[in-house]
């Protein structure tokens, strides 16, 4: 197998080989993802009206490949010596070495994931959102939309997603989590895990019964999580928040620095200008963006305005059009800047919790 190289620097985590041949693939239902322009030849886009059977999901997403465990050998002069407790994980379709694992490790094959997820929902109905591999197949992710939305103040819907992530390189356990983030790449996988309130991790062992039981437990508590989140958001939506309170909130969140003068010259004007612009942009979003109409003047509206700004801070160039001077974004674009948990939106939510 040739040398593996990253396809792009966007953080999506999609790989090619040294000849540019794809090692990863992705299926997405709905709108184009934020990294579409660089990775569109790896992505199969499905219209939301089209239903995908779980039994056909892996084939549609290009995940219909398997992984084998291969003995690890060490050169000790001559001949080679087999390391009894060590194995390599290898993709069977292209012989790419994915990882190095110890005795007792058992592969959770891609083909097992749809049935695994089906067992979690009694109705047998799951709405597929995304399915893809990362880093040449070292990680594989399946995301499904939860059947029930969270309603804020009885009208503003917040979607939540059930995500299954598996690693074939031994780096992490099989991970099942509930998140308000639609996972589209490595960046949103990281952020989705950071935002997740309910996470179940299952080791790569033979104990399938344990896997099923722990995953079932995750599904049961996920509805409690949805209820908790809805209750918190409802409380915030009932708290009035004036412009002056919002300004104080922003100053605590992202302070505009005082002028620093050295040798008769102000040295920090760029920082002042940048912070002031952040405040102005968030105020403009809160006052004028269509998504803020029903929650403007509330604590929840303040949090959502900050989150909207955070989500789009590095993707304004991706906006396809403007309404009254305000950029309008595709739904997936809002996640392109979610590179870390400790951003303005997360801190705003934490600060707001202290007020309810």
Identify whether residues 19 and 43 lie together within a single domain.
yes
In three state form, how does the secondary structure of the chain look? CCCEEECCCCCCCCEEECCCCECCCEEEECCCCCCHHHHHHHEEEECCCCCCCHHHHHHHHCCCCCEEEEEEEEECCCCEEEEEEEEEEEECCCCCEEEEEECCCCCCCCCHHHHHHHCCCCCCCCEEEEEEEEHHHCEEEEEEECCCCEEECCCEEECCEEEEEEECCCCCCEEEEEECCCCCCHHHHHHHHHHCCEEEEECCCCCHHHHHHHHHHHHHHHHHHHHHHHHHHHHHHCCECCHHHHHHHHHHHCCCCCCCEECCEECCHHHHHHHHHHHHHHHHHHHHCHHHCCCCCEHHHHHHHHHHHHHHCCCHHHCCEEECCEEECCHHHHHCCCCCCCCHHHHHHHHHHCCC
Least confident residue range of 129-143, 151-165, 288-302, 328-342: 328-342
**pLDDT-derived band at 248, boundaries 50, 70, 90:** very high
Residue 339 has pLDDT above 80, yes or no: no
Residues 150 and 249 in one domain: no
The answer on 83 and 17 residing in a single domain is yes
Say whether pLDDT at 58 is over 90: yes
Do 171 and 258 lie in one domain? The reply is: no
The domain in which residue 74 lies consists of 4-231
Q: Are 135 and 12 in the same domain?
A: yes
Query: Do residues 279 and 271 touch, judged by C-beta distance below 8 A?
Result: no
Domain closes at, from 231, 261, 290: 231
Structure tokens at 260: 């620093």
Total of domains in the chain: 2
Task: Please give the mean pLDDT across all residues of the chain.
Answer: 76
pLDDT > 70: percent of the chain: 68
Domain match, 155 and 191 both: yes
Last residue of a domain, one of 182, 205, 231: 231
Residues 146 and 117 in one domain: yes
pTM (two decimals) = 0.62
293 within 8 A of 317, measured Cβ to Cβ: no
Residue 275 sits in the same domain as residue 340: yes
> Of 231, 260, 295, which marks where a domain is finished?
231
Please tell me which residue, 171 or 50, carries the higher pLDDT value.
171
**pLDDT digits 0-9 by tens, 79-116:** 666 556 788 999 999 999 999 898 889 999 999 998 88
């Amino acid at each position: 197998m040739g040398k593996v190289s990253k396809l792009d620097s966007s953080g999506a985590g999609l790989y090619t080989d040294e000849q540019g041949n794809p090692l990863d693939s992705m299926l997405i239902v709905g709108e184009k993802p934020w990294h579409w322009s660089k990775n569109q030849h790896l992505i199969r886009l499905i219209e939301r009206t089209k239903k995908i059977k779980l039994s056909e999901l892996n084939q549609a997403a290009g995940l219909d490949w398997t992984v084998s465990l291969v003995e690890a050998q060490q050169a000790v002069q001559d001949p080679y010596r087999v390391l009894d407790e060590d194995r390599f994980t290898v993709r069977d379709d292209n012989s790419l070495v994915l990882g190095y694992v110890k005795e007792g490790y058992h592969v959770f094959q891609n083909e097992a994931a749809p049935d695994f997820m089906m067992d979690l929902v009694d109705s047998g109905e799951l709405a597929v959102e995304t399915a893809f591999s990362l880093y040449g197949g070292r990680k594989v992710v399946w995301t499904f939309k939860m059947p029930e939305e969270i309603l804020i103040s009885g009208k503003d819907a917040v979607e939540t997603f059930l995500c299954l992530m598996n690693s074939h390189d031994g780096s992490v356990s099989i991970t099942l989590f509930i998140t308000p983030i639609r996972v589209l790449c490595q960046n949103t996988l990281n952020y989705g895990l950071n935002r997740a309130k309910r996470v179940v991790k299952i080791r790569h062992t033979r104990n399938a019964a344990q896997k099923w039981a722990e995953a079932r437990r995750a599904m049961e508590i996920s509805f409690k999580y949805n209820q908790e989140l809805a209750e918190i958001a409802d409380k915030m939506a009932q708290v009035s928040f004036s412009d002056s309170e919002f300004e104080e909130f922003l100053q605590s969140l992202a302070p505009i620095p005082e002028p620093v003068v050295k040798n008769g010259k102000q040295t920090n004007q760029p920082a002042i200008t940048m912070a002031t612009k952040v405040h102005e942009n968030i105020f403009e979003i809160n006052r004028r963006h269509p998504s803020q109409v029903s929650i403007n003047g509330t604590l929840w509206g303040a949090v959502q305005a900050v989150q909207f700004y955070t989500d789009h801070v590095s993707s304004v160039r991706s906006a396809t059009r403007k309404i009254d001077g305000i950029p309008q974004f595709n739904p997936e674009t809002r996640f392109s800047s979610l590179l870390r948990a400790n951003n303005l939106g997360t801190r705003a939510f934490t600060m707001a919790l202290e007020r309810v």
